[in-house]
A and B are shown apart, each in its own frame.
Chain A
Amino acid sequence: MYAQMVKSEATNDDPEKLAAFQARIDANEKIEPKDWMPEGYRKTLIRQIGQHAHSEIVGQLPEGNWITRAPTLERKAILLAKVQDEAGHGLYLYCAAETLGISRDEMTEMLLSGKMKYSSIFNYPTLNWADIGAVGWLVDGAAIMNQVPLQRTSFGPYSRAMIRICKEESFHQRQGYDIMMKMARGSPEQKEMAQDALNRFWYPSLMMFGPSDKDSVHSAQSMAWKIKINTNDELRQKFVDQTVPQAEYLGLTIPDPDLKWNEEKGGYDFSEPDWSEFYDVLKGNGPCNRDRIEARQEAWEKGRWFRDALVAHAEKRAARRVAAE
């Protein structure tokens, strides 16, 4: 779940048009870019898809941190391919958002100035090689929980982007788990790395779903529009239920002494993450917020001459073509 706490926008449209729009959504029709849509729907989607796209881009950094130290040629190739997929996901999502009337450059400027957010999870550091496994297993695992239902979202371009992205994410999750298996069954030091990675990534992964939104008006509106399909608590529960047996299989311990199976609800009871830490991270006080955004700002600033030159060259070429005609 790369979009967190997306506030839905109030809408002041003609009630008749709104009712007709809602009827299309209720009939499971896809809304396409040229169709009429409430301004609130448009703005909420820009915020949500944009935040997801930014998360893919910023998400390259914690994993990129280990590309030069990947322990085998195969692991290096797999990690490079994964980070490349993420850049590709960013590209589809920016394109999907652009169909709503905002440009990629505008969204980039908003990310770099802090006006748009990316997922809190990418403000945590990757400190040992098992973190690369844990990011695939837990972070991509949590993301998939939200993205699989979003394949059926009401906005056509977003739904189509999600279908492509989910295929790749599920592959990433399996690769992450594969690293965890090697580590958890390796030398004592490797097992220590694996447990350490799980200890650090468990609660931040639970935070990815956002705080409980069962009483949130924003979520209710987004769910009516089918741009949000499940509540945060439903998805978090599903994630925990899926992940606990996987951790047991690895022989690793989930860092929650209160975790236990609840026969009655058919799921695990588990401890809530520390939500004050979550709000701190959103405010910019996570361990890596400043480093992450500065890395993106630096890439953008240092790349300006490159982008300007490509535009200048294209203009020169066009002028030469005109002169030759």
Chain B
Amino acid sequence: MPSLPDIMTPDAEALARAAGKGKGAPLEAGSPEHDLFTGLTRLGDNTLILGHRVSEWCGHAPVLEEDIALANMALDLIGQTQLWLGLAGEVEGHGRSADDLAFLRDAWHFHNVLLVERPNRDFGHTLMRQFLFDAWHQPMLRALEDSADDRIADIARKAGKEVAYHLERSADLVIRLGDGTEESHARMQDALDRLWPYVGEMFHADEVDVRLAHEGVMPDPAGLRPTWDATVDEILAESTLARPEGDFFHKGGRQGRHTEHLGHLLAAMQWLQRAYPGAKW
């Protein structure tokens, strides 16, 4: 036998198209659509992953009022995720919904900053992570209200109202715990020191940011730093916490290179969708 017979079906190409339905060709790197899709998933993945982390507290917070407040915050963040990832799917144009993007991408396609995937640890660490993020999130949304893309400006206006309250709350608790007991002060300082190396990434622009800023679609994150510094310095002073020295920061999350923690988070979050493909819930 000179060779095996060809076992391909004659309609292989049509089958391949059907199998890949909803996938389409990937957006070309550097194209405006790709940049916009990337920018939107960065926003939506931040809120998704932080919302997920916050929701892990459900039923375990130190006091009933905190259980209620954390659930509220997680709800806001998940709601914002639906808007950002919904728009990202629309921009991509391959028929992927917010759920498809949340539950069916693997870790290297997530674009959140590393800060938000850091594990909860104690309640003080959770609050400090929230404060450092909120102090960035609020001016980011404020800048996005002026986006040249009306769809982005609309989402930013809606989310901005919620996030203004998040910042007010997390800042207030950082003050009260920083300037509380000796133990609470030590815990909050430890949380700040641990999280500090994840701050810089929020302001570190790459070429996608530069192009989006040039088009007036999203701000250059580096420009948000002075506002963030002013907020954080004021709150840290009042909370009697010391701003850590050093400006080293871990990065890569926004480009899809994550810590080990994200994979475990996604394993829990995506499990049902992965285990029962195509099921409706």
Whole-angstrom distance between the alpha carbons of A312 and B177 in the complex? 9
Whole-angstrom distance between the alpha carbons of A80 and B78 in the complex? 10
CB-based contact A309/B273 at 8 Å: no
Contact of B78 among A69, A77, A190, A316 (CB under 8 A): A77
Contact of A64 among B58, B184, B268 (CB under 8 A): B58
CB-based contact B60/A295 at 8 Å: yes
Contact of B276 among A190, A309, A316 (CB under 8 A): A190
Interface residues of A in 45-72 (CB under 8 A from B): 57, 60-61, 64, 67-72
Nearest neighbor of B127 in chain A, beta-carbon distance: A306
CB-based contact A72/B124 at 8 Å: no
Residue total for A at the interface (Cβ-Cβ under 8 A): 49
User: Of the 9-residue stretches A159-167, A181-189, A275-283, which lies at the interface with chain B?
Assistant: A181-189
Contact of B67 among A67, A87, A305, A316 (CB under 8 A): A87
A84 contacts partner chain B, Cβ-Cβ < 8 Å:
yes
CB-based contact B71/A87 at 8 Å: yes
CB-based contact A129/B272 at 8 Å: yes
Q: Given A91-B64, A306-B123, A309-B180, A69 and B268 touching (CB < 8 A)?
A: yes
Name the B residues within 8 Å of A316 (CB-CB): 179
Name the B residues within 8 Å of A308 (CB-CB): 180-181, 183-184
Nearest neighbor of A61 in chain B, beta-carbon distance: B59
How many cross-chain pairs have Cβ atoms below 8 Å apart between A and B?
143
Interface residues of A in 281-311 (CB under 8 A from B): 295, 298-300, 302-310
A323 contacts partner chain B, Cβ-Cβ < 8 Å:
no
Nearest neighbor of A315 in chain B, beta-carbon distance: B180
Contact of A299 among B62, B175, B187 (CB under 8 A): B62
A19 contacts partner chain B, Cβ-Cβ < 8 Å:
no
Beta-carbon contacts of A75-89 to B below 8 Å, as 1s and 0s?
Answer: 111001101100110
B116: min CB distance to chain A, Å:
15
B176 contacts partner chain A, Cβ-Cβ < 8 Å:
yes
B279 contacts partner chain A, Cβ-Cβ < 8 Å:
yes
Whole-angstrom distance between the alpha carbons of A112 and B92 in the complex? 52
Name the B residues within 8 Å of A57 (CB-CB): 59, 64
A324 contacts partner chain B, Cβ-Cβ < 8 Å:
no
Q: Which of B52, B66, B67, B280 has the most CB of A within 10 A?
A: B67
Nearest neighbor of A304 in chain B, beta-carbon distance: B62
Whole-angstrom distance between the alpha carbons of A75 and B279 in the complex? 14
CB-based contact B79/A77 at 8 Å: yes
Name the B residues within 8 Å of A69 (CB-CB): 268-269, 271-272
Contact of B55 among A76, A90, A309 (CB under 8 A): A76
CB-based contact A74/B177 at 8 Å: no
User: A interface, by DSSP: helix, strand, loop or mixed?
Assistant: helix
CB-based contact B67/A313 at 8 Å: no
Q: Given A64-B58, A71-B281, A84-B72, A302 and B276 touching (CB < 8 A)?
A: no
B28 contacts partner chain A, Cβ-Cβ < 8 Å:
no
CB-based contact B179/A302 at 8 Å: no
B63 contacts partner chain A, Cβ-Cβ < 8 Å:
yes
CB-based contact B99/A73 at 8 Å: yes
Nearest neighbor of B123 in chain A, beta-carbon distance: A306
B65 contacts partner chain A, Cβ-Cβ < 8 Å:
yes
CB-based contact B103/A307 at 8 Å: no
Whole-angstrom distance between the alpha carbons of A267 and B63 in the complex? 44
Whole-angstrom distance between the alpha carbons of A186 and B276 in the complex? 11
CB-based contact B58/A60 at 8 Å: yes
Beta-carbon contacts of B243-281 to A below 8 Å, as 1s and 0s?
Answer: 000000000000000000000000011011100101111
CB-based contact B52/A68 at 8 Å: yes
Q: Which of A182, A295, A304, A306 has the most CB of B within 10 A?
A: A306
Name the A residues within 8 Å of B103 (CB-CB): 71-72
- The chain B residues found within 8 Å of chain A, CB to CB, are 48, 52, 55-56, 58-68, 71-72, 74-75, 78-79, 81-82, 85, 98-99, 102-103, 122-124, 175-177, 179-181, 183-184, 187, 268-269, 271-273, 276, 278-281
6 interchain residue pairs of minimum CB distance: A303-B62, A309-B180, A309-B184, A60-B59, A84-B71, A71-B281
- The chain A residues found within 8 Å of chain B, CB to CB, are 57, 60-61, 64, 67-77, 80-81, 83-84, 87-88, 90-91, 94, 104, 129, 179, 182, 186-187, 189-190, 295, 298-300, 302-310, 312-314, 316
Task: List 12 additional contacts besides A72-B281, A73-B78, A314-B176; criterion CB under 8 Å.
Answer: A57-B59, A68-B55, A71-B281, A74-B82, A74-B99, A81-B75, A129-B272, A189-B276, A295-B60, A306-B177, A309-B176, A309-B184
**A-B CB contact pairs (8 Å), 22 listed:** A60-B59, A60-B67, A68-B52, A69-B272, A76-B78, A77-B78, A77-B82, A80-B75, A88-B68, A187-B278, A295-B60, A299-B61, A302-B62, A302-B122, A305-B183, A307-B62, A308-B183, A308-B184, A309-B176, A309-B181, A312-B180, A314-B176
